[in-house]
Amino acid sequence: LGSIGMKLQVVGTIGQAATIAATSGLEAANAFLLNSFNPTTMAIGLAMGVLMDMLLQSCDQRDMETALLKDSGYCVAIGTYCAERWPLVGCVQRAESHCCFNSKLARIVQEQGRAQIPSMGGFGTAREPNCRGFRPEEFQAIDFSKIDLSEYFDELQTRSQQLIEGEIRTRVEARF
């Protein structure tokens, strides 16, 4: 029971520290942990701090933006490549390349339009992506009747349905 009680206390202290970190920042959470002075809690707090530092240093702003755009369906995955190679060891860091656009519709037109214009060379290679937009003459050469927009229309239909349901719910709640 004593061991379980100690673990519950540690979990509770960590939970309180996490809440404080989320609302008041890491410095306030560290101060709370120092005031709680329990060697186990201190070790866990230190480990959390080191882990947070590692996570925050591993991704820059550009990486975070790419991840958000990728999850939104605005990017085309180009491929992976070895970003850092050590002698005798080989590849120690792999990287992914993506071409991201301002909307899902832009991504669809880029993907299917480039397939119609071989001179663009597609999206290039993972190490040297070609994410440029269309030149006016390239854009005019695209046959839009061959572009499948079903993915875009499905998203519009889903979004429209959600907006309609939200509007109906708001009006019903306002009346009753």
Q: 56-77: per-residue pLDDT in tens?
A: 566 677 777 887 788 888 999 9
**Alpha-carbon gap, residue 79 to 41, rounded angstroms:** 43
Q: SS3 string of 31-52?
A: HHHHHHCCHHHHHHHHHHHHHH
Distance of CA 14 to the CA centre of its chain: 26
Q: 9-46: per-residue pLDDT in tens?
A: 666 777 777 788 778 887 887 777 667 655 665 566 66
Q: 82-91: per-residue pLDDT in tens?
A: 999 999 889 9
Q: How far is CA 49 from CA 36, 37, 55, 116, 172, in A?
A: 16, 16, 10, 51, 48
pLDDT of residue 31: 76
Cross-strand bridge partners of residue 90: 86
